Amino acid sequence: MKPVNVTLQLGNQAPLPPPESDFYYVDQGNYQTFVLADTPLTAYSDSATSCIITTVFCASPSGNTLIVAHLDSPACIEAFFALPQLSAASSLQVFAQGANPPDNSTAKANAAQLQACIDQLGSRVSNHELILLQGDPREQNRGEFGVHYAGDGSACVSNQPYSLALYQRDPTCGGQTVYCIMRRQEQPPMQLRDAGQPFSHPELVELASIALAFRKAPQDPASAFCNIVNLQDAEIRANWSTTPAYEAPWFSDQLKLGATFALAMAPVVTLSAQHLLSHTPPSFTRLRQALLSPSSASGQEAP
């Protein structure tokens, strides 16, 4: 099949309302795969600092697919390029933006890893445009990136931002945020999740139970994840972000959403302890062990 005709448009446009249908938001630590046919769609991510928002068009004899991901570490980038969807493609087009500010060590490491993964793919990459290490992620729409596929074999990749409510970034009303901020504490870390697969009810209950119990410093109640609801914006950034000076305006509100989700789910967690959880194999056993063990006191990755 003929590869998608892709154009790249960069600018400093003001945010737009998202399309009313066929709009998909991909949060940090997630990827989503789209089969491209005759239906238009828009896939988008934002809030990238040292992270890299990556879009890959995959062409194969069976058709064209698009994969959009928000990648936050060298290991996460490696895991993304090891996805079977990429391995099966005969031709790839890669577009990415992020890895900022340019003097940040994580941004530099992420940019180098992305380039290395593309180099390893060799001639299978027919086209790539990498907008990395450009400056302050809060300026020139450097923290936003997405794709509009027209449904006719053509697509536009751009840094057009969209005005989103918190529920549009996290349709679980906080469960995704809990997963995002805590997932990297596993050993080995949980690198990527398929955003096309919704969280199940048992998974949301389990995430809430972990969030309710977690403290960054086990002996300090003020370091509890749910105590975020009592903190001001500056305190949340200082305590829970790895790049506090560069976070998006909604960063603190999103973390408060995650903490509020856990608190609101507390009665469900209690009711489920004897019924649901006793009959459902846990999905986050390693995460629970890593976060709630007595020796766990490490810092967290920001969403």
- Looking at every residue in the chain, the average pLDDT score rounds to 90
What is the structure's pLDDT at 183? 81
Residue 208: closest CA among 278, 279, 288: 288
pLDDT above 70 covers what percent of the chain? 89
Residue 125: closest CA among 114, 136, 135: 114
Residue in the structure block whose two tokens are 């789209």? 34
pLDDT above 90 covers what percent of the chain? 73
What is the structure's pLDDT at 194? 95
* pLDDT of 264 over the 50 cut: yes
Q: Band the pLDDT of 297: cuts 50, 70, 90.
A: very low
* pLDDT of 299 over the 60 cut: no
What is the structure's pLDDT at 203? 87
Q: Determine the length of the chain.
A: 303
98-133: pLDDT as tens digits:
999 999 999 999 999 999 999 999 999 999 999 999
221-263: pLDDT as tens digits:
999 999 999 999 999 999 998 789 999 999 999 999 999 999 9
Paired tokens of 27: 């949060």
Determine the Cα–Cα distance for residues 8 and 192; give it in Å rounded to an integer: 26
Report yes or no: 282 and 206 within 8 Å, Cβ to Cβ: yes
Report yes or no: 66 and 32 within 8 Å, Cβ to Cβ: no
What is the structure's pLDDT at 271? 82
Cα end-to-end span (Å), the chain: 37
Residue in the structure block whose two tokens are 């931002």? 161
More confident residue, 158 or 282: 158
What is the structure's pLDDT at 210? 87
What is the structure's pLDDT at 197? 92
How does 212-235 read in b/e, with b if 16+ C-beta sit within 10 Å? Answer: bebbbeeeeeeebbbbbbebeeee
25-50: pLDDT as tens digits:
999 999 999 999 999 999 999 999 99
Arithmetic mean of pLDDT, 39-62: 96
181-216: pLDDT as tens digits:
888 666 677 789 999 999 988 889 888 988 998 888
* pLDDT of 295 over the 60 cut: no
Q: Whole-prediction pTM value?
A: 0.88
Sign of torsion, CA 137 15 176 263? positive
Query: HSE (CB half, 13 Å, CA atoms) of 89?
Result: 30
What is the structure's pLDDT at 218? 86
